[in-house]
Chains A and B, each alone.
Chain A
Amino acid sequence: GENVEQHPSTLSVQEGDSAVIKCTYSDSASNYFPWYKQELGKRPQLIIDIRSNVGEKKDQRIAVTLNKTAKHFSLHITETQPEDSAVYFCAATPSSNTGKLIFGQGTTLQVKP
């Protein structure tokens, strides 16, 4: 079945720096890749997503890139702020097209003021 690997597990950056989180997936037919932000004890919030027919998508300080050949996708956060501190999860929709999501292990991002 589909497997999603996420790195790093923890990431600490200074306020204003950039943060990059990387994921790889196993099912080459996966076609939808969302990123979620989860604060402690709360629900995951969709922050950006990308579909397999697009290589890059940007929304203000957040961008996602997709390399279908390498089966990699990455989250880029620029000009980080303390409120960006949270756990970030990548996910992928496997080829079964049931809509289910397979999640990566998560990255705890700490932005130091």
Chain B
Amino acid sequence: GAVVSQHPSWVICKSGTSVKIECRSLDFQATTMFWYRQFPKQSLMLMATSNEGSKATYEQGVEKDKFLINHASLTLSTLTVTSAHPEDSSFYICSARPSAAEQYFGPGTRLTVT
């Protein structure tokens, strides 16, 4: 199956700082990638759709100025959590589609804001 990677796998940062998370499709090109957030024992909540070469589409309630998404190439999307606060601590997962429908997920990034 298709392979999606994420970096870093975990990160600890101080409140007020920014953190960048990378999502890469390793063996296919992805014009669209998706970013999800998952709190402990909860479901995956779609945050935004990352579109190569254009602006991301954010879901209702997600602050686009806080969660900056850049999709500069067909294999890389980045999510930057700006001015992070403890409530931003979560598991962030990206996904990408090698075909019209199937999505494959990255391994996730555990963010802890102290």
Using a CB–CB cutoff of 8 Å, the interface residues on chain A facing chain B are 1, 32, 34, 36, 41-46, 49, 51, 89, 93, 98-106
Interface contacts (Cβ under 8 Å), in number, total 57
Tell which of A44, A98, A105 has the most Cβ of chain B within 10 Å.
A44
Q: For chain A, what secondary structure do more than half of its interface residues adopt (helix, strand, loop), or is it mixed?
A: loop
Question: Which A residues lie within 8 Å of B95 (CB)?
Answer: 101
How many residues of B are counted as interface, with CB atoms below 8 angstroms from the partner's CB atoms? 24
Q: Is the CB of B43 within 8 A of A101?
A: no
Decide if B46 touches A102 in the complex (CB within 8 Å).
Answer: yes
- Residues 53-72 of B, flagged 1 when their CB comes within 8 A of A and 0 if not, give 00001001000000000000
Chain B 70-104 residues near chain A, CB threshold 8 A: 93, 95, 97, 100-104
CB contact under 8 A between A34 and B93, given known A43-B107, A98-B32, A98-B57: no
- Whether B105 pairs with A44 at a CB distance below 8 angstroms is yes
